[in-house]
Structure 1
Amino acid sequence: MSASSLTSSPGPQARTRAPAVPGRWAARVDAWMARLVLAPTILMSLVFVYGFIVLTAFLSLTESRMMPRFEYAGFGQYTALFGLDRWWTAAANLGIFGGLFILLCLAIGLSIAILLDQRIRAEGALRAIYLYPMALSFIVTGAAWKWILNPGLGLEKMLHDWGFVNARLDWLVDSEMSIYTVVIAGVWQSSGFVMALFLAGLRGVDDAIIKAAMVDGASLPTIYLRIVIPALRPVFFSVLLVLSHIAIKSFDLVMALTAGGPGTSSDVPAIFMYQFSFTRGQLGLGAASAMMMLATVLAVLVPLMYLETKGARHGR
């Protein structure tokens, strides 16, 4: 064999390294392809979410009315906002609605999930019934409960027709009770969703731990209180996050059910922001109320994220 043929023929190492260049280029193309696919979504999020948050924050520092005015005017809109009785009524209603909504959804959802976790008969049908309200929009829920709680059409009229003439269920037109009708409708719609999350968490708990506790003589309530429910910490975090978000941005349910009335007795910050921004020509004031809603979201989100991160760091 000649020397030229020895030098021209590739060795085993050359033959194995040759495909490395196309492979490296393919990896680069795949990496850039993923970035190109995600780029429009990231760009739109930056512009239409964070960009408009920055714009709203700036408008809250201007004297904008019907149209935006980009002249800095200080914190006058926040001073005017905090001086309005209607804003404090809306904030108090948000506290009532948010607190009761979250607590009742947690209690009802967890109780139903524990019930279904006992492998009862017709579990599939009951789960579908409890989840069905979540398939409806808040507009439909509000309209349905508006008919149900209408004194001349719904439950009160039915009770009167049955002979219970002193029965009163006119909360919808009672300024002291109207916000609680929103709580009832919201809990009816969302507790099934909470039940589904808790049930998924319960089904993820290791049966061996429960059986070992039963062998040690622990009762079923003790097992749930001491072992199962503490193991659902991530589920509690997710549920609190979702329910808090629903409560703070509640708009369509309130508009469909009470429209903030009677008067402003069931007003909430989202309705306040909408009406002052788009129907009363107070764009700067509406932007200030929107920033206060964002501050409320952060006041709920940041402690929850901190507690969850701290718990994960300590292995809890």
Structure 2
Amino acid sequence: MMTNSMTEKSLPAKRPLADWLRWNVAKLVVAPTFALIIFFVYGFIAWTGYVSFTKSKMLPTYSFDGIYQYVRLWKMSTWHVAMENLLVFGGLFILIAIVLGCLLAVALDQRVRAEGLLRTVYLYPMAISFIITGTAWKWILNPGLGLEKMFHSWGWESFSFDWLINSDMAIYTLVIAAVWQSSGFVMALFLAALRGVDSEIIKAAYLDGASLSRIYLVIILPTLRPVFLSSFFILAHMAVKSFDLVVALTGGGPGNSSIMPANFMYEMTFRRNQIGLGAASAMMMLATVMAIVIPYLYSELRERKHG
């Protein structure tokens, strides 16, 4: 009996708290960050959504007033212009950036000389902010400072490029600047995917007599569907939240001809003291992003489930 009691005393005592900490220390480390994200991101999204259903002006009020702000929003011609500009800008920006980025990736995939230098040159614009991009292109496209003046000084007096001050063409200057900044990033995505393609497939296609263009169009590019989708959703997200590029390049003008939803929201909220209306426009921007993201997530989950 004495031996058994001595053996029990010599066994280490159970430490449930220490064991629990050992298994949950990672969760404890991540928990504060997770809580802050929930509060400052999703909490303020919910707050903005509620404010959009009130008649808040300079200061928020919390008396529910239905869809008054949304009805008011869609009756404003400036908002319609902003949404039309988003469709034009987003469509052209996404299409041109993907096509140009893909072509650059295919060109670099031919193992050209100074490939590393060219990759850096094409990708570098993505490292700078849209404010700098907008300012630089504002100088380049300014009729009195940039391209037009340069060609005039070279003797081409009839040359005219006044898109920056033309209300019908100002939106396209945003497309030019955005494509210049983002096409290198798309190129990097495609180039990484192309370098992962099995070289034996290309060799077999060459032996069958396929041309280089046909190999890429028929064999390689169709396998890059995930890259096309990823590029589309990244660029679409950038297009919807475009604000600083517009401020730096066109300021939303001439007039309101190049205003975007993000600039409209800022104008209503911080300059005209219409918090409820600004919140409604912000929720419409969120709905636009969700309309793009949700179908993509659904298709991805469905493919994984059935794949």
Band the TM-score falls in, shorter-chain normalisation: over 0.9
Q: Report what 1:15 is aligned to.
A: none
Q: Which range moves more in the overlay, 141-150 or 31-40?
A: 31-40
Distance (whole Å) between structure 2 residues aligned to residue 245 and residue 118 of structure 1: 31
Give the TM-score normalised by structure 1: 0.91
Deviations 1:248-292 (A, max 9, x none): 000000000001000000000000000101110110000000000
AA at the equivalent of 1:189: Q
Question: Displacement of 1:312 after TM fit?
Answer: 3.8
5+ residue gaps, structure 2, are none
Q: Report what 1:153 is aligned to.
A: 145
Percent of pairs identical after alignment? 57
Deviations 1:180-208 (A, max 9, x none): 00000000000000100110111111222
Moved over 4 A (4+): 7-10, 24-27
Question: Displacement of 1:214 after TM fit?
Answer: 2.4
| 1:196 corresponds to which of 183, 188, 195 | 188
| 1:304 corresponds to which of 273, 284, 296 | 296
Question: Displacement of 1:25 after TM fit?
Answer: 7.3
State yes or no: 1:108 paired with 2:96. Answer: no
Q: Report what 1:139 is aligned to.
A: 131
Q: Classify the secondary structure of the residue corresponding to 2:173.
A: helix
Q: Report what 2:282 is aligned to.
A: 290
Distance (whole Å) between structure 1 residues aligned to residue 209 and residue 306 of structure 2: 30
Whether the 8 Å CA contact 1:237–1:308 is kept in 2: the answer is no
AA at the equivalent of 2:296: L
Distance (whole Å) between structure 1 residues aligned to residue 19 and residue 242 of structure 2: 46
Distance (whole Å) between structure 2 residues aligned to residue 46 and residue 138 of structure 1: 28
Q: How does 1:195-274 map to 2 (within 5 A)?
A: 195-274=187-266
- C-alpha distance 279-4 of structure 1, shift in aligned 2 (>3 A): closer
Q: How does 1:19-34 map to 2 (within 5 A)?
A: 28-34=20-26
Q: How does 1:70-149 map to 2 (within 5 A)?
A: 70-149=62-141
Whether the 8 Å CA contact 1:86–1:264 is kept in 2: the answer is yes
| 1:186 corresponds to which of 158, 169, 178 | 178
- C-alpha distance 110-26 of structure 1, shift in aligned 2 (>3 A): farther
Distance (whole Å) between structure 2 residues aligned to residue 186 and residue 58 of structure 1: 33
Distance (whole Å) between structure 2 residues aligned to residue 311 and residue 93 of structure 1: 34
Deviations 1:19-45 (A, max 9, x none): 9x78x9776433311111111111011
Whether the 8 Å CA contact 1:151–1:157 is kept in 2: the answer is yes
Deviations 1:46-66 (A, max 9, x none): 101110011000000000000
Q: Classify the secondary structure of the residue corresponding to 1:239.
A: helix
Question: Displacement of 1:233 after TM fit?
Answer: 1.7
5+ residue gaps, structure 1, are 11-17
Deviations 1:139-191 (A, max 9, x none): 00000000000100100001111111111111000000000000000000000
Give the TM-score normalised by structure 2: 0.93
- C-alpha distance 114-81 of structure 1, shift in aligned 2 (>3 A): same
Question: Displacement of 1:306 after TM fit?
Answer: 2.3
Distance (whole Å) between structure 1 residues aligned to residue 268 and residue 285 of structure 2: 14
Question: Displacement of 1:82 after TM fit?
Answer: 0.4
| 1:36 corresponds to which of 22, 28, 33 | 28
Distance (whole Å) between structure 2 residues aligned to residue 4 and residue 265 of structure 1: 94
Question: Displacement of 1:224 after TM fit?
Answer: 1.3
Question: Displacement of 1:219 after TM fit?
Answer: 2.3
Distance (whole Å) between structure 2 residues aligned to residue 4 and residue 279 of structure 1: 85
